[in-house]
Amino acid sequence: MDRSKPRRNPYQRGQDLATPDGERQFDELEASSLFCPKCRAAVPVRKRLLLVLPEGERYEYLCAYCSTSVGRKIEEVKNKIQLIQTP
């Protein structure tokens, strides 16, 4: 079987491939497995929303086996709520 190679469309602009600034955002990486002190192994984790804060949403990572908290993370909200500070 001769599989046709995935050809790039020369007329399609590579918008998804690279941003004009060359800016890549790796801060959205999800932790897929973390070390659990109880299981003493790298375990798959569940993500749970803990709190919604002005600076972002706080998530907690729980061990999929024993539900021990193995990590926390604050995800910045892109549409930030602007808090108006009254003097």
Does 36 contact Zn ion by CB under 5 A? yes
Q: For Zn ion, which stretch binds (CB under 5 A), given 2-10, 23-31, 32-40, 53-61?
A: 32-40
- Binding track, positions 60-79, relative to Zn ion; x by CB under 5 A: ---x-xx-x-----------
Token duo for residue 34: 């973390």
Q: For Zn ion, which stretch binds (CB under 5 A), given 4-12, 23-31, 38-46, 77-85?
A: 38-46
Distance CA 36, CA 72 (A): 13
Distance CA 50, CA 60 (A): 6
Cα separations (Å) of 14 from 4, 18, 27, 33? 21, 7, 22, 32
Does 45 contact Zn ion by CB under 5 A? no
Residue 8 CB neighbour total at 10 angstroms: 9
- In the bound state with Zn ion, the residue whose beta carbon lies nearer, of 31 and 53, is 31
Binding site for Zn ion (CB under 5 A): 36, 38-39, 63, 65-66, 68
